[in-house]
Structure 1
Amino acid sequence: MQRDPRAFLWDVQQAAEAITAFTAGLDVLDYRASPLIRSAVERQFEIIGEALNRLSKEAPDLADRVPNLRKIVSFRNLLIHGYAVVDDGRVWEIVTTMLPSLRATVTALLTDLGPPDV
């Protein structure tokens, strides 16, 4: 049985909200200084990338509505496969400049489409 494609968007939304909560009140120096926060943020980005990768395979028309989807999936791949060369400054930049837009897009899509079937 195929998963409701909206569930992938919900996973993205939940992971983005977690990243936002994990990094609230921090700056890049705080982020770099905390292996716990870095690990938590990277894990949530992995979830975002995997959810969007699956969405692109199961509901390509819906996936096309998510800007930069391929870049997001590539970032997930870098975090998993290129773990030894992850640039904390780049991750922080994505948290602060790109994540808010992704969050807004996914929230708007879920508002438009309704919540996933459980």
Structure 2
Amino acid sequence: MDNDIKTWLYDISNSIEEIESYFEGSVKIFEAYQNDLKTKRAAERNIEIIGEAMNRILKQDSLIIISNSRKIVDVRNRIIHGYDTVSDDIIWGIIVKNLPILKQEVQQLLED
């Protein structure tokens, strides 16, 4: 695997771990997330990083298989360009449903 791709995969992994760290020692509760502006902005920023790294990976090697890779890039674009239409519900869904899957897939790619 190309070193650039490995670097971007590590960037994705680190961003996921950072998002997870926001909830360490507590139960993930949507209302708590929704009322914590700092956590929301930090999570959005990390999702932007994940999306940009994914975009770079896809440009470098379109054969890499990562679930919802195009949607990940689309979410990044939505956060950046449509910041006023970003839904807490969508970001929360990504945090609790999609990031655990992405984390496993990235770890598997890094181990191969």
- TM-score normalised according to structure 1 size: 0.87
Q: Which moved more, 1:47-56 or 1:25-34?
A: 25-34
Identify the residue that residue 30 of structure 1 maps to in structure 2: 32
1:23·1:37 contact (CA, 8 Å) conserved in 2? Answer: no
Please list, as runs of the form range in 1=range in 2, the aligned pairs for 1:1-118 lying within 5 A after superposition: 4-24=4-24, 25=26, 26-62=28-64, 65-112=65-112
What code does the residue aligned with 2:94 have?
I
Q: How far, CA to CA, are the matches of 1:27 and 1:88 in structure 2?
A: 12
Total equivalences in the alignment: 109
Question: Which structure has the higher relative contact order (CA within 8 Å, separation 6+)?
Answer: 1
List alignment gaps of at least 5 residues for structure 1.
113-118
In 1, the alpha carbon distance for the partners of 2:103 and 2:57 equals 16
Give a deviation string over 1:1-43, Cα, whole Å, max 9, x none. x962111111001001111111332310010001100000000
- Per the TM alignment, residue 93 of structure 1 is displaced from its structure 2 partner at its CA by 1.1
Measured after TM superposition, the shift of residue 59 of structure 1 is 2.1
Other structure's SS at 1:66 match: coil
Instruction: Please list every run of 5 or more consecutive structure 2 residues that lacks an aligned counterpart in the other structure.
Output: none
In 1, the alpha carbon distance for the partners of 2:95 and 2:16 equals: 9
2-structure distance, mates of 1:68, 1:47: 16
Identity of aligned residues (%): 37
Query: How far apart in 2 are the matches of 1:92 and 1:18?
Result: 15
RMSD, aligned α-carbons: 1.4
**Length-normalised TM-score, structure 2:** 0.91
